Amino acid sequence: TAPGVRHGKRHGKKARLRCGRKALHVNFKELGWDDWIIAPLEYEAYHCDGLCDFPLRSHLEPTNHAIIQTLIHSMDPAAAPPSCCVPTKLTPISILYIDAGNNVVYKQYEDMVVESCGCR
Amino acid sequence: VQQASIPSSPSSSSSSSSSSPAELGSPAKGLRSRKEGKVARGPRESSSARGRQEGTPQDRPPGQPPPQPPHQPPDRWPPQAPGQSPLQPPHQPPGRWPPQAPGQSPPQPPHHQPPHRPPGHSPPRSPGRSPPRPPRQPPDHSSPETPGHSPPRTPGHSPTPSPGRSPPRQPPQSPHRPPGQSPPRSPHESPRRPPGHSPAQSPRQSPPQPPGHPPHRSPPPGPHQHGPPGRSQRVEPHEYMLSIYRTYSIAEKLGINASFFQPSKAANTITSFVDRGRDDLSHRPLGRQKYLFDVSTLSDHEELVGAELRLYRKVAMSSATPGAPPAGGPLHAQPGAPPAGGPLHVQLSPCLSRRVLAARPLDPRRAPPAGWEVFDVWQGLRHQPRRRMLCLELRAPADLRGLGFGRRGRPPRERALLVVFARSQRRNLFAEMREQLGAAAPLSRTTPPSEALPPSEATPPSKPAAQSEASAWGPRRGPRRPR
C-alpha cells in the first residue's frame, strides 16, 4: 500500500516520491570499464531520490538548514526550492583493477555505496 | 545471513581462498544487500570468448592469427583451469597467508596485437553489451623460453639484467598524453576512464622499457596516434591479489575492518608488481638472482605501510640423493639439483648493497615441495627515495635453482611478486583525476608537429584538463580537430 493511501490524506505521486534510497545497479561491463576493473564487475550502488517536503521525517536526518529551507519552501515555493535528497551515508567497496603500469591493484574506494539518504 | 569464511589470522587465511565463486557472487544478506564481487568469470574471459566466437578474419588486423579455440590452453585468457573460475581458489598449502596457487600453470595469453584505431575514435557501444576485445598479450617480460626449449644464448651471459641493460622488453611508456586527446584504443576498449585512474593512459599499455629499446609487440602509432601505443598486453591477476580481494570484499560485507587482516595493516591500497627480471640461462650455479620491479606508478600521496616480496619456490628440477653432499660445496653442485646438507641461509638485499633486508634458512630437504617464501622488504622500500625501478637481490650459498628459485619456465602466476601496502588519504576522485591530468598536460608538447597546435591556438592550461576529464568520463565521439 502506498503511503498516501495508507495515511488517507496524501494522494498522488508526491507522497510516493518521498526522499529515500532507490536501487541503482552498477554494471562496470556496461559502463565499459571491465577492461580495467577485474572485480567486481557489478554491484549495487543505490541512489537517493524523492522529495524533501514539509514536514521532514526524522529518519531523513535533515540539517537545520534543510529544515528551515523546507519550511520556507512550504510557505512560499518561489522563495526557495525544497531541500535536496542526497546520500547521507556512504560506504566503500573493494575494487581490483589494473593500473596504468599494468599492475594489479586492490583499492578500497570510498563512498561507492549509498547506505542512507536524507534531506540536506 | 550468509556466512563467509574470514581468516582470523595469517595461518588461517586459507579459508578465504576456499570461498567459492558463489560466495563471491552472492551478497551478504542481512548486512548489505549489494551484489558485489560478482566475478564468476575472468574480466576478459567473455570478451575473449566473444572474440573467438564473433571474430572474423576481416575483424582481425592483418597478420594477426585467428583467435584460439577454447581448447587451446596456451593462449587462453584468463589463465585458469578448464571449468575453474578465475576467483575460484586453488588448493592452498596450509599455514600460508594469503593463500596462493602453487603449481598452477596458467596458459599464456595470446600475443595478438590490437587493431589500429585513430585516437579518440571509440567504437559504437550499446548498453548492456561490451564489444569484443582482441586478445591481449601477457605481461611477460622474461625470456619466452619454455621448459626444454631454450633460445641460443652466449655462455657466460650475465645472469641477471642490470639497470642499464634492463630485461623488460617494453619501452617506458609515457604515462601522459596530450590533453583532450583520446588514447589509441582498440575497438574493444572502454571509451571511458576510471575515477582516480589516469585517463591519459591505457591500463594495458606496454610496460616500461629502458630507453633505447624499441617498442615490442606494439603496433606502430598511426597518423593520429600520439604517445604510447594501445594496450597490447593482457594482465593476469595474480592469485594473491585475487585472494586479497576476496578476503576484503567479504570483510566489507560482514562489516569487518580491513585493517584486521595482516599484513595489510591500515592499507587501503595494495599494489602488486610482477618481477621483470630474466632468468640466467647459463649452466653455472646461480648464487644470486636479481628481481626487478617497476614501481614508478607508486604515488607520492600514498603512505607506504608495508611491502613484501613473494618468491615462489618450485620443486627442485632434479632429485639428488639425500645426504650425499656434492663435491666442492653447494655452489659446485649440478645446477638445478637440490643442494644437499643442512639448511641454507638465503639473504635478500637491495642490488648493489650489502644491507640485508631479510634472511632465513631454507632446508632443501625439509622444505615443502612448493610454496611462497615471503620476505618483508618494507625497510628497503621505505628508506630509499621513490625511484622508477626497485632491484632486489637474493643470495644463497647454493644454487638458487636447486632451491627452487629459478625463473625458467615459470608461468606468470609463479613469478616473484612485490606487494606494496599503502594508505592513501580520502580524496575526491575528481581532484585525483585532475591532478593526474595536470601532470599529463606538459606532455602535450610531445605532440607530433603535424598535429601540434600553433602557439597562438594553444589551449589554455586549464582547458586540457577539462577536456581530458570530459573525455575520461563521457563517451568519446571521435578525434577533435583544432580549427
pLDDT values of chain B reduced to their tens digit, one per residue, 483 residues: 555 544 444 443 333 333 333 344 433 333 334 444 444 444 444 444 444 444 443 444 444 444 444 444 333 333 343 344 434 433 444 334 444 444 444 334 334 444 444 444 444 444 444 444 444 444 444 433 333 333 333 333 333 333 333 333 343 344 344 444 444 444 344 444 444 444 334 434 433 343 333 333 333 333 333 333 344 566 788 889 999 999 888 888 887 765 556 556 678 889 999 998 876 667 677 778 889 999 888 877 788 888 999 998 876 654 443 443 443 344 444 555 555 566 778 888 888 888 888 888 877 666 566 788 899 888 877 766 667 888 888 888 877 877 778 777 778 788 899 999 988 776 555 555 555 555 555 444 444 433 333 333 333 334 344 444 444 444 444 455 454
Which chain A residue shows the shortest CA-CA distance from B78? A38
Is the omega angle on the peptide bond into residue B263 within 30 degrees of 0, that is, cis? yes
Out of B194, B273, B296, name the one closest to residue A33 (CB).
Answer: B194
What are the angstrom distances between the C-alpha of B410 and each of A76, B99, B106, B178, B181? 73, 19, 10, 38, 39
Residues 6 or more apart whose CB falls under 8 angstroms from that of B245 comprise: A38, A39, A94, A96, A106, B37, B87
Planar angle of CA B337, B340, B341, nearest 5 degrees = 160
Q: Is A106 on the interface with B (CB under 8 A)?
A: yes
B190–A32 CB contact, under 8 Å: yes
Q: Please indicate whether, in this complex, the C-beta atoms of B296 and A101 are within 8 angstroms of each other.
A: yes
CB contact under 8 A, B43 and A99: no
How far CA B97 is from CA of A82, B243, B262, in Å, comes to 53, 9, 9
Q: Which residue of A has its CA nearest to B255?
A: A91
| DSSP H or E segment with residue A80 | none
Asked if A93 and B294 come within 8 Å (Cβ–Cβ), the reply is no
**What mean pLDDT value characterizes chain B?**
55
Residues near B371 by beta carbon (within 8 Å), at least 6 away in sequence:
B93, B96, B100, B102, B312, B313
- For residue A113, give the chain B residue with the closest CA: B34
- Candidates A26, A27, A102: best to mutate against B (most CBs of B within 10 A) is A102
CA dist B50 and A4 (Å) reads 49
In terms of C-beta density within 10 A (0-12 exposed, 13-18 middle, 19 or more buried), how is residue A10 classed?
middle
Contact A37/B at CB under 8 A: yes
B297/A99 touch (CB, cutoff 8 Å), yes or no: yes
* C-alpha–C-alpha distance, residues B287 and A115, integer Å: 56
Distance of alpha carbon B365 from alpha carbon B361, whole angstroms: 12
User: Is the Cβ pair A100, B198 closer than 8 Å?
Assistant: yes
Sheet bearing B389-395, strands edge to edge? B288-294, B389-395, B344-350, B358-362
CB of B474 within 8 A of CB of B182? Answer: no
Q: How far is CA A71 from CA A52, A57, B78, B474, in A?
A: 10, 13, 58, 38
Instruction: Label residue B15 exposed, middle or buried (CB < 10 Å: 0-12, 13-18, 19+).
Output: middle
Q: Does B188 contact A35 at a Cβ distance shorter than 8 Å?
A: yes
A30's grid cell: 556496461
C-alpha cell at B62: 592483418
**What does the DSSP 8-state code read for residue A56?**
P
Give dist(CA A70, CA B407) in Å, integer.
68
Q: Are B253 and A111 in contact (CB under 8 A)?
A: no
Say if A23 is an interface residue toward chain B (CB within 8 Å): no
CB contact under 8 A, B207 and A37: no
Q: Is A59 helix (H, G, I), strand (E, B) or coil?
A: helix
